[in-house]
Amino acid sequence: MTASTVQWFDDIEVGDRFESATAYRVTEEEIREFARRYDPHPGHIDPVTAQATVFGGLAASGWHTSAMTMKLFWESGFPVGHSVGADMDLQWPTPTRPGDELTLVLEITDKRESRSKPDRGVVTMQWGTRNQDGEWRQRCRCTVVMFKDPAKAGTPTTPAAPAVPATPATPAQPRRKPAPRG
């Protein structure tokens, strides 16, 4: 099964795994730029002063790590365009460093129908962002609302909030990998 067939709640299965097709290369310049704008901690901005901070050297803002992870989602084959984040339990076990090459791995852990809206379901997943040495920079357990395939809907009613077109979510290099079972 290729990622291009995974677009909707109907297509997702518990145990499915997705991985980013490419790595995100983290630069000192980008770390400092993001920090100056949103999180001006000296540990995120000044490589010299950062030595004396809790980070022990220049490190990305945790929110920057989250933003870069979101970019990796778009390259993982997971149908980002048909889902909306709902609730996240988020941690940054270690700080992201200049030179890191971040990749994302995520696994579907649960799915259920929406109790109130027939055009969607709720999917639970866990994901992790790690660098080239396997050090975890971010871990997350989250639930997302995922829309069902309108073409398979049994009723002629149009959802009040239709999902976005499928095309933008199609990754250049699908990387969906079935998880080992049993």
Residues binding a copy of itself (CB under 8 A): 34, 37-43, 49, 52-56, 61-64, 66-68, 70-71, 74, 80-81, 84-92, 147, 161-165, 168
Least Å from the CB of residue 157 to a copy of itself: 16
Q: Which is nearer to a copy of itself, 1 or 70 (CB)?
A: 70
Which candidate, 138, 15, 143, places its Cα nearest to that of 71?
Answer: 138
Cα angle 85-133-173, degrees, rounded to a multiple of 5? 55
Least Å from the CB of residue 182 to a copy of itself: 32
- CA dist list (Å): 139 to 33, 108, 128, 169: 24, 14, 4, 23
- Cα 163 to its chain centre, rounded Å, is 18
Least Å from the CB of residue 175 to a copy of itself: 18
Q: Which is nearer to a copy of itself, 40 or 99 (CB)?
A: 40
Q: Which is nearer to a copy of itself, 41 or 177 (CB)?
A: 41
- CA dist list (Å): 83 to 10, 24, 49, 69: 12, 22, 41, 16
Give 72-127 as a DSSP string: HHTTSS--GGGEEEEEEEEE-SS---TT-EEEEEEEEEEEEE-SS-TTEEEEEEEE
Least Å from the CB of residue 105 to a copy of itself: 18
Least Å from the CB of residue 49 to a copy of itself: 8
Q: Which is nearer to a copy of itself, 64 or 111 (CB)?
A: 64
Q: Which is nearer to a copy of itself, 67 or 177 (CB)?
A: 67
